[in-house]
Structure 1
Amino acid sequence: MGLSLLWALLQDMVLAAVPALGFAMVFNVPLKVLPYCALLGGVGHGVRFLAIHFGMNIEWASFLAAILIGIIGIRWSRWLLAHPKVFTVAAVIPMFPGISAYTAMISVVEISHLGYSEALMNVMMTNFLKASFIVGALSIGLSLPGIWLYRKRPGV
């Protein structure tokens, strides 16, 4: 792992911790767990960054990072005596696909203003599906650790 990759990873984690901390404050998270929300947001985004860097696409990388956020959030909730959602919801928000959703929305507005164009429709559908799959990966990935770790009886 080169020094430039390490620096980019550190920068990505710090910049992802800021919105995680901000959303945790908006959600009135207790003061004692605010640093953990920021740390978990940075760790989750860092895992996604590394997965993308090593060739995984953004949907699967988001899924993997959301699973890790869910597992760590459940472990920290037992340690800090707080609900897991206190940590996980604020930590996963920096990974939401704002650029893809915004580009899809702008394409829809341009289609309604300029009329149908195959290029605009392609941009709209590509970005809409990308944003939808990322949001789905985040929500499923965040809920799977709770299903795995809290299940008392066998699945079959």
Structure 2
Amino acid sequence: MTFWLELLLGLLDDMFFAAIPAVGFALVFNVPKSALVYCALGGAIGHGSRYLMMQFGLSIEWSTLFAATLVGFIGVLWSHRFLAHPKVFTVAAMIPMVPGVYAFNAMTALVEINQLGYTHDLFASLIENFLSAMFIIAGLAIGLAMPGLFIYRRKPIV
């Protein structure tokens, strides 16, 4: 019982704190006031679903891809309902999943290699963090493009 309670509290915490930057970036992107709630909800759904997938053993890269795809399809659903472009809802909702820590750690390792000289540990840290950041960013980009690949096709898939 404790596992499920900790999971639920962690999920609620994750979703609440993911909604804040989603709304902040939506304001920066001049999203209409009526869509701010949906941007916050999209950020919370995306980050929360990534959190859940990671808690059940999926890597952060794959979790980000699936969460971004989920947010992309939800954004298309909302865009049909509110007659707006899907990017109004989805771009700001993806921002909380941007891998800032991995990119920062990669740059820090690069600067330390420049200052202190090459070591295997610093280079391994640089490569590991850089590749994680790039794969997470690729997951966000592909997940954001997925609805367009499936819903807005001019030719049938088969």
Which TM class, normalised by the smaller chain length? over 0.9
Alignment of 1:14-53 (within 5 A): 14-53=16-55
Q: CA deviation at 1:153?
A: 1.8
| Count of residue pairs brought into register by the alignment | 156
Q: CA deviation at 1:4?
A: 1.5
SS of 2:154's partner is coil
Does 1:62 pair with 2:64?
yes
Q: Decide which of 111, 128, 136 is 1:126's aligned counterpart.
A: 128
Cα-to-partner distance string for 1:79-100 (whole Å, 9 max, x where unaligned): 0111100011000010010000
Q: CA deviation at 1:103?
A: 0.2
2:87 alignment partner in structure 1: 85
Cα-to-partner distance string for 1:120-156 (whole Å, 9 max, x where unaligned): 0000000000000000011011101111011132135
Q: CA deviation at 1:3?
A: 1.3
1:144 alignment partner in structure 2: 146
Does 1:2 pair with 2:4?
yes
Give the Cα–Cα distance (whole angstroms) in 2 for the partners of residues 57 and 47 of structure 1. Answer: 13
Runs of 4+ in 1 over 6 A off after TM superposition: none
Q: Which amino acid aligns with 1:140?
A: I
Give the Cα–Cα distance (whole angstroms) in 2 for the partners of residues 135 and 153 of structure 1. Answer: 28
Alignment of 1:82-121 (within 5 A): 82-121=84-123
Which runs of 5 or more structure 1 residues have no equivalent in the other structure?
none
SS of 1:150's partner is coil
Give the Cα–Cα distance (whole angstroms) in 2 for the partners of residues 104 and 65 of structure 1. Answer: 24
Q: Which amino acid aligns with 2:34?
A: K
User: TM-score, normalization: structure 1?
Assistant: 0.98
Which runs of 5 or more structure 2 residues have no equivalent in the other structure?
none
SS of 1:2's partner is helix
Work out the percentage of aligned pairs sharing the same amino acid.
Answer: 54
